[in-house]
Chain A
Amino acid sequence: MSRLRVILRLAGRDLRHRPGEAVMLVVIMMAATAALALGLLLQGTTAHPYQTTREATSGPDVLATDFPSGAGTPVSPAALKQIAPLARAQGVAGNSGPLPVAFPVLTFNGRTDAVLAEGRNLAPAAVDQPELTEGSWVHADAVVIERSFADALGVHAGDRITLNGRPFTVAGVAVTAAFPVNGVGFLEGSSQWPNPGLIWTTTADAETLATRQYPLGYVLNLKLTNPAEAENFADRFDPGGYTDNTGGLYVIPWQLISHQDGLVIAHEQKILLVGSWLLALLAAGSLAIVVGGRMAEQNRRVGLLKAVGGTPALVAGVLLAEYLALAVIAAAAGVVVGWLSAPLLTNPGTGLLGSAGAPHLTLPVIALVVGIALAVATLASYIPALRAARTSTVDALADAARPPRRHARLITYSARLPVPLLLALRLASRRPRRVLLGGLSIAVTVSGIVAVLFARATLTLSPSGPAGTADPGLSDVGFISQTARENRVLLLITAMLIALAAVNVIFTTWATVQDSRHAAAVTRALGATAGQFITGLSAAQILPATGGALAGIAGGYALFTAADQGASASQPPAWWLVTAVLGTLIAVAVLTAIPARLAARLPIAETLQGDGT
Chain B
Amino acid sequence: MMDSSLIRARALRKDYGTGEGLVRAVDGIDLDVAPGERVAVMGPSGCGKSTLLHLLGGLDRSSGGELWFHGRRIGQLGERALAEMRRKEVGFVFQAFHLMEELTAQENVELPALLAAVPPRAARRRARDLLDRVGVGDRVGHLPSALSGGQRQRVAIARALVNEPVLVLADEPTGNLDSAATLDVLRIFEELHATGQTLVIVTHDERIGVTADRLISMHDGAFVDETRLSGGRRSLGVLIGLEERASE
Interface residues of A (CB under 8 A from B): 403-406, 411, 415-416, 419, 422, 426, 429-430, 518-519, 521-532, 603-605, 608-609, 611-613
Contacts and interface: CB of A to CB of B under 8 A. Distances in A.
B107 A526 contact: no
Contact of A609 (B50, B88, B103, B120): B50
Contact of B115 (A528, A603, A604): A528
Nearest to B89: A527
Nearest to B143: A406
Centre residue among A530, A605, A609 by max chain B CB count within 10 A: A605
A411 B120 CA distance: 11
Contact of A530 (B54, B79, B94): B79
A396 to B, nearest CB: 17
A537 to B, nearest CB: 15
A526 B94 contact: no
B111 A523 contact: yes
Interface in B39-95: 50-51, 54, 57, 59-60, 79-80, 83-84, 86-88, 92, 94-95
B62 to A, nearest CB: 12
A416 B57 CA distance: 28
A612 B95 CA distance: 8
A128 B245 CA distance: 110
Contact of A603 (B60, B88, B99, B101): B60
A415 B115 contact: no
Contacts of A521: 98
B96 A522 contact: no
Contacts of B51: 605
B114 interface: yes
B96 to A, nearest CB: 3
Given A403-B102, A528-B115, 5 more contacts: A404-B102, A524-B83, A604-B60, A611-B98, A612-B94
A524 B85 CA distance: 11
A416 B83 contact: no
A527 B143 contact: no
A526 B102 contact: no
Contacts, number: 96
A613 B117 contact: no
Contacts of B115: 419, 523, 526-528, 532
B1 interface: no
Given A522-B98, A522-B100, A612-B96, A411 B83 contact: no
Contact of B101 (A403, A528, A604): A403
Given A519-B100, A608-B98, A613-B101, A529 B59 contact: no
A412 to B, nearest CB: 8
A525 B114 contact: no
A526 B101 contact: no
17 contacts: A403-B101, A406-B103, A411-B103, A415-B124, A522-B100, A523-B111, A523-B115, A524-B83, A526-B86, A526-B92, A527-B115, A530-B79, A604-B60, A611-B96, A612-B97, A613-B96, A613-B98
A545 B60 CA distance: 35
Contacts of B110: 415
Contacts of A609: 50
Contact of B102 (A406, A524, A530): A406
B83 A529 contact: yes
Nearest to B110: A415
Contacts of B120: 415-416
Contact of A529 (B80, B124, B144): B80
A523 B115 CA distance: 9
Contact of A526 (B80, B117, B159): B159
Nearest to A403: B101
B94 A411 contact: no
Contacts of B54: 605
A422 B100 CA distance: 14
A524 B129 CA distance: 24
Contacts of A430: 102
Contacts of B87: 526-528
B130 interface: no
B202 interface: no
Contacts of A530: 79-80, 83
Interface string B98-126: 11111100010011101111001001100
A50 B188 CA distance: 91
B88 A613 contact: no
Contacts of A518: 98
Contacts of B100: 519, 522, 613
Contact of A605 (B60, B79, B102, B112): B60
Contacts of B94: 608, 612
A523 B86 CA distance: 11
A612 B111 contact: no
Nearest to A604: B59
A93 B123 CA distance: 98
Contacts of B143: 406
B243 to A, nearest CB: 28
Given A527-B86, A528-B115, A404 B80 contact: no
- Residue among B86, B124, B144, B159 having the largest count of chain A Cβ atoms under 10 Å: B86
A605 B80 contact: no
Nearest to B107: A411
B88 A525 contact: no
A422 B86 contact: no
Contact of B83 (A422, A528, A603, A605): A528
B101 A525 contact: no
Contacts of A531: 80
B60 A526 contact: no
A521 B54 CA distance: 13
B97 A526 contact: no
Nearest to A429: B102
A613 B50 CA distance: 17
Contact of A612 (B79, B98, B114): B98
Contacts of B116: 527
A415 B92 CA distance: 22
A522 B115 CA distance: 12
B162 to A, nearest CB: 9
Nearest to A406: B102
A186 to B, nearest CB: 66
B109 to A, nearest CB: 11
A78 to B, nearest CB: 87
Contacts of B79: 529-530
A612 B59 CA distance: 16
Contacts of A608: 59, 94, 96, 98
Given A404-B102, A613-B97, A526 B111 contact: yes
Contacts of A419: 114-115, 117
A528 B110 CA distance: 13
Contacts of A416: 120
